[in-house]
Amino acid sequence: MKAGIVGIGRYLPEKILTNADLEKMVDTSDEWIRTRTGIEERRIAGDDIDTSDMGYEAAKKAIEDAGISPEDIDLILVATVTPDQPFPSVACMLQERLGAKKAAAMDVSAACAGFMYGIVTGKQFIESGVYKHVLVVGVEKLSKVTNWEDRNTAVLFGDGAGAVILGQVSENRGILSFELGADGTGAKHLYQDEYIIMNGREVFKFAVRQMGESCINVLEKAGLTKEDVDFLIPHQANIRIMEASRQRLELPVEKMSKTVHKYGNTSAASIPISIVEELEAGKIKDDDLIVMVGFGGGLTWGAIAIRWGK
Ligand code: UT7
């Protein structure tokens, strides 16, 4: 039995914060932000929109796209480090709001790699035959833990949500291989005290090395090579980090997802948001081999190789 993605959805708050807006808030420039990160603008959720609200909107769309009813969902996994509150989990809040009465529910905390951790966890339940449908949501309201006076971090992050339904797909499609990893010795480089604290240079070095390595590892595990890859969806943290993974796979520019310029770094939401955008743009087709790869605080990382389609 193979697990794959059978439904998708995303939600982005309407409010746009541009680099020009940030120039008025901290000592920075549009030029610095663009050249160092690739970010041009990001979305910010208002006070009336919390993490669960964004997750709910994305999940509703994914359920509709999969053509199932909320009661068909067996498990809800929400990847987030910015839950509405420590508990109950965002997953339980969604379970109630969606009316997913049969579903077990929990949050997954693996920072920007959280969506990869969620997908790989959900896959186990589908492929063991225990569950039929797993809802995996990646959602963050990073604006509430961003120090808007710290130029090192304020320019990087954004809010948003993406969701997928995992289900059984045909034998030659679905998730072919995965890698998950963690290195707690690097916890000091990226964490939340009251606000996000980051040693950008250290995280940058780790990300460039680990993203490339994980891409190669999942291909090897699936018995494939770089030449087999049709499309790369990296975590959208910084265009320079993404470019390093693309070059490691020797892919042309048009074969890598890029949404970071519009949404900034939305942590666990960045990969599922990108999946939806690329599908809508017609860049992902059935039977394409797609590599998705994320990294984040923890430190954590995760990658999958997936043959697209139901
Ligand atoms: O999802 C995981 C989350 N984290 C990441 O992905 C972050 C990974 N790291 C990065 O993306 C990059 O390290 C940054 C974009 C954060 C920084 O880029 P960099 O090329 O590594 O810059 P840097 O840290 O080497 O800093 C260069 C200079 C510093 O000034 P000095 O010390 O050389 O005088 C910073 O103070 O740029 C300064 N700087 C800024 N200048 C203007 C830092 N932030 C800004 C800013 N505007 N917003």
Range of the domain at 119: 2-169
0.95 exceeded by the pTM? Answer: yes
Please give the backbone phi and psi of residue 42, each rounded to the nearest 5 degrees, phi first.
-145, 160
CA of 4 to the centre of ligand 1 (A): 37
Q: Among 145, 157, 204, which residue has the most ligand 1 atoms within 8 Å of its CB, making it the best to mutate?
A: 204
Examine the pLDDT at 2 and tell me if it is beyond 90: yes
The amino acid at 149: E
**Is ligand 1 within 6 A of the CB of residue 200?**
yes
267 & 299 share domain: yes
**Is ligand 1 within 6 A of the CB of residue 112?**
yes
218 & 277 share domain: yes
Examine the pLDDT at 135 and tell me if it is beyond 90: yes
11 & 155 share domain: yes
The domain spanning residue 271 has which CATH number?
3.40.47.10
Examine the pLDDT at 277 and tell me if it is beyond 90: yes
Element (H, E) at 40: none
117 & 203 share domain: no
Point out the domain boundary residue: 169, 187, 210. 169
Percent of the chain with pLDDT over 70: 100
CA of 310 to the centre of ligand 1 (A): 41
Categorize the per-residue pLDDT at 1 as very low, low, confident or very high, splitting at 50, 70 and 90: confident
Burial string for 178-191 (b: 16+ CB within 10 Å, else e) reads bbbbeeeebeebbe
CB count within 10 Å of CB 45 equals 24
Identify the residue whose C-alpha is closest to ligand 1 atom 11: 238
Cα 154 → chain centroid: 19
Examine the pLDDT at 280 and tell me if it is beyond 90: yes
216 & 269 share domain: yes
Structural tokens at position 196: 């996000």
Residue 189 falls in the annotated catalytic set = no
204 & 165 share domain: no
219 & 249 share domain: yes
196 & 286 share domain: yes
Q: How many domains does the chain have?
A: 2
Note the pLDDT tens digit of each residue in 157-211.
999 999 999 999 999 999 999 999 999 999 999 999 999 999 999 999 999 999 9
Residue 265 falls in the annotated catalytic set = yes
Note the pLDDT tens digit of each residue in 142-159.
999 999 999 999 999 999
Nearest to residue 245, comparing CAs of 293, 278, 193, 201? Answer: 293
229 & 161 share domain: no
Point out the domain boundary residue: 135, 169, 203. 169
Residue 235 falls in the annotated catalytic set = yes
Point out the domain boundary residue: 149, 169, 189. 169
7 & 141 share domain: yes
Note the pLDDT tens digit of each residue in 49-88.
999 999 999 999 999 999 999 999 999 999 999 999 999 9
Nearest to residue 91, comparing CAs of 122, 66, 127? Answer: 122
278 & 134 share domain: no
97 & 182 share domain: no
